[in-house]
Every structure is written in structure tokens, then in C-alpha cells.
Amino acid sequence: MTAFVFATCLPRSMPNLKRELARTRPDLRLAYSRPGLITMRTDAVPAELDVPEPRAIFARASGRSLGFADSTDRIVEHALALVTERTAAGASARMRVHVFARDPADPDETPEDLEGTAALRAELMTRLAAHAYPRELAEPGDLVLDVVRPPPGLTDPIFVGWHLHDAWRGAAPGGVRRVPVPEDVPSRAYSKLEEALGWSGLPLHTGDVVVEIGSAPGGAAMSLLRRGANVIGIDPARMDPRVLGWRGAEGSFRHLGIHAERVRTRDLPAQVDWLVLDANVAPHRAMIGLKHLMTLRGGTIRGLLLTLKLNDAGVIEDLPALLDELREIAGVTTLRATQLPSAHQEVVVWADRSAR
Ligand SMILES: C[S@@+](CC[C@H](N)C(=O)[O-])C[C@H]1O[C@@H](n2cnc3c(N)ncnc32)[C@H](O)[C@@H]1O
């Protein structure tokens, strides 16, 4: 039997995604490709509802393909065919409806058509009311209908697919909500961290202590402060005065103006909840500071949210080995990794230590 699967990614990362899947899923054959979306076919799958999907670091959303749609009627037909297929197989057919746009070639330049996306979702929710959950965010095990619009400026047909939600992926449409960079923040790392928090589901609470390696000038710190965290920023470079002078009702900032490898145990509070890393160095170099911090506070750290720079093709080839090393440093058996919409040459990695 033949089945079709799909994956979305950053348009500039298409070659990386194809290379990754060639390595991990040699059964897949490319069927269709547009910037930010590929569909692939696989033969000899065991059962219609049991197709391994193309899970990959460079894919953000992935699943089974239902086909293309040039009208809302056609999307509804696809969704109802899925309901029929699932019902016949005795599986749950109640679905989350995820409508999202593919990433544009330049996310910094192209604003998202949020209104068009919201209008299409509203129409689908009306027409699929008998089969859809009202809320968008997926829970593990949920059936999710993926309705993938072309990015603004492209007129390709809409793609329709589905997947079962699990802990590997983000719960929002497309895996993560894009966060445009606000004007009043010190750096675009603000958006990167906001997206990473949404994608990972890191349960950050007011008063949590976050250590950030590579904190200057302070966009990410600003995101953490606005969420009421107590942030210790480690970076020899200068922090933005808005971060240093934070006067919010909650949250606090302390700067350690040194390299992470030089932090001493007395520089840190006894309890550190989360470790964030965004240092502009090669990943193997970043690991040195990370290992050092884990030696100092590994006993209390509940999770690590890390940005790894893909500064050359060698790093991309080394990613599986780097993730193995990170698993060891974090002391976890599974990690999640993806490329965020705001990412340039980097991937984000989430190590949840609560499940150890
Ligand atoms: C991309 S910037 C970080 C942006 C920052 N997260 C923000 O929110 O604005 C990378 C930073 O990593 C810092 N860095 C590089 N190596 C480091 C190390 N070993 N320890 C601490 N910081 C480091 C650099 O000084 C630089 O400021």
C-alpha cells in the first residue's frame, strides 16, 4: 500500500530537511515541493492509519497527507473523508482544527496574514462543528487537521493533512506561533524565546529562577522578566539598560559579566529552575559552559532550552551526535529539537528533566 506524508519547514532549510529525511527515512520519495512544504510517498505501509510520519529536526509540522484544496468546500471534503476513515477504523474522529501559513522566505520582511488565517479557521469551525474541538491547542493523542495556507504573496493551493499530537511537537497550529519582534525590546532574541517557550511548553512560573548563558543585550531576558522570572544573565558583553534597570512588579535581573565557564558556585542561588543558552559560538564550544553550569546546579535544574548555531554544514552533519551529547549533559533520554519561525541559522533544543 502507498501513503503520502508531509512536512513543513523554514524555506531556506529545505535542503537540510531533505538530507535529514534521506538519512532517517530512506523509504520516503519526494512527491511535491514548494518553499516550506514537502510531500512524500512511502510504499508498503502496514495499515492505512498506521503510517510513520516524517519526524525531523528541520520539520516543524508533519503528518499524513489528505491532498490539496482550491476552496473551503474541498477542505471540508478532505476533513469529512478523514472522519469517515477514522470512524470505520474504530478510532476517534473528533479533531483540532489547525490553520496556519507556511513560513515566508524572509520572516523578517513578510508580515503574516493573521486575519485570513483566522477567517478561514472560523469558517471551518462552523462547517465542521460536529467534529471539531473548539480550542486550538492540541493535547497528546488528539487528532489534528492541518490546513496549510501559502505564505502571503504566493498563490499555491492550500494543503490539507492530519497528525496525532504527541509530546514531540508544539501544541499550536504548525507547531509554534510566530512572534513578531516588538519595537520596545533590546533584541530579536525576545521573539525567539517567546516562540521557544510556546513550542516547548516549558512551564515557567512567576518567581522561577532562570540562568541564561549568552544574555546580552537582553531580548530573551526581557521576555523572561515580563513573565515574572528572576533572571541571572551570564555574558561578558553589555546588557541593555532596560534589562539592568528592570523595575517590574515581579521578576529581577542580575548580570554576571563573565564567560559561563568562569561562573563559581557562589555566584548562583542554591535553586536554579531553568537553564537557557543562546551563545553565538559553535555548539561544541557552547557545551563547555553548559556542562560547567550543570555541574554547579544540575541537581535543581528542571529543564534546558538551548539555541544551537548551525554556523557551517559540518554542524548540520554533526547534529545527531551533538544531540546525543546534550542528552548526556542534560541527563535525559529524549530531547526535542526544531527550527523556530524567527530562527536564522540555528535550531532550538528542549530538554525536559521532569520526566527523568
Ligand atoms: C546571540 S547573542 C545573545 C542574545 C541574547 N540572548 C539576547 O536575548 O539579546 C550571543 C551572546 O553570547 C555571548 N557569549 C558567547 N560565548 C559565551 C560564553 N562562553 N559565556 C557567556 N556568554 C557568551 C556573546 O557575548 C553574545 O552576547
Cis peptide before 217 (omega within 30 of 0): yes
**CA-based nearest residue to 193, from 305, 272, 294:** 305
- Residues 115-119, mean pLDDT to the nearest whole number: 97
Q: What is the pTM of this model?
A: 0.93
Closest CA to 58 of 280, 310, 329, 277: 310
Atom of ligand 1 nearest to the CA of 240: 9
Assess whether pLDDT exceeds 60 at residue 49: no
Is 236 a pocket residue for ligand 1 (Cβ < 6 Å)?
yes
Contacts of residue 268, Cβ cutoff 8 Å, sequence gap at least 6: 211, 232, 296, 297
Pocket test for ligand 1, best of 278, 285, 309, 344 (most atoms within 8 A of CB): 278
pLDDT surpassing 70 at residue 44: no
Residue 217 CB–ligand 1 contact under 6 Å? yes
Collapsed DSSP state (helix, strand, coil) of residue 114: helix
Nearest to 293 by CA among 323, 321, 262: 262
For residue 257, is pLDDT > 60?
Answer: yes
Cα torsion at 270, 274, 279, 284 (round to 10°)? 90
Mean residue pLDDT across the chain: 93
Q: Is the CB of 181 under 6 A from ligand 1?
A: no
| Mean pLDDT, residues 134-161 taken together | 95
Q: How many helices (H) and strands (E) are present in the chain, helices listed first? A: 8, 14
Distance 169 CA to ligand 1 centre (A): 27
CA of 58 to the centre of ligand 1 (A): 24
pLDDT of residue 53: 75
Ligand 1: nearest atom to the Cα of 234: 21
Q: How far apart are CA 44 and CA 3, in angstroms?
A: 8
What is the 330 CA–ligand 1 centroid distance (Å)?
20
CATH number for the 189-355 domain, one of 3.10.450.50, 3.90.1150.10, 3.40.50.150, 3.40.47.10? 3.40.50.150
What are the residue ranges spanned by the domains of the chain? 2-175, 189-355
Q: According to the model, what pLDDT value does residue 344 have?
A: 78
pLDDT tens digits for 307-343?
999 987 778 888 999 999 999 999 999 899 999 998 8
Q: How far is CA 311 from CA 304, 319, 330, 339, 347, in A?
A: 21, 12, 23, 14, 11
Kindly state the DSSP code that residue 28 receives in the 8-state scheme. -
Q: Whose CA is nearest to atom 15 of ligand 1?
A: 279
Percent above pLDDT 70 for the chain? 97
Closest by CA position to 10, among listed 337, 341, 310:
341
The residue type at 77: E
Ligand 1: centre distance to CA 237 (Å): 7
pLDDT at 97 > cutoff 80: yes
Contact 352, 273 (CB under 8 A): no
User: In the Cβ-directed half-sphere of 194, how many Cα atoms lie within 13 Å?
Assistant: 21
The pairing of strands 303-309 and 346-352 is antiparallel
User: Average of pLDDT values for 58-83?
Assistant: 96
Q: Is 280 in the pocket of ligand 1 (CB under 6 A)?
A: yes
Write the residue with the smallest CA distance to atom 27 of ligand 1: 216
Phi, psi values for residue 118, rounded to 5°: -65, -40
Q: Which of 185, 188, 223, 280 to mutate to test the pocket of ligand 1 (most atoms within 8 A of CB)?
A: 280
Q: Domain 2-175 classified CATH 1.20.1260.10?
A: no
Sequence-separated (6 or more) residues with CB below 8 Å from residue 93 = 82, 83, 86, 87, 131, 143
25-29, 107-111, 154-158: range with lowest mean pLDDT: 107-111
Ligand 1 pocket residue status of 259, Cβ below 6 Å = yes
Quick one: average pLDDT of 338-355?
91
Distance CA 165, CA 10 (A): 21
Given this model, what pLDDT does residue 48 score?
Answer: 55
278 CA to centre of ligand 1 in angstroms:
6
Q: What pLDDT score does 342 carry?
A: 86
- pLDDT of 106: 84
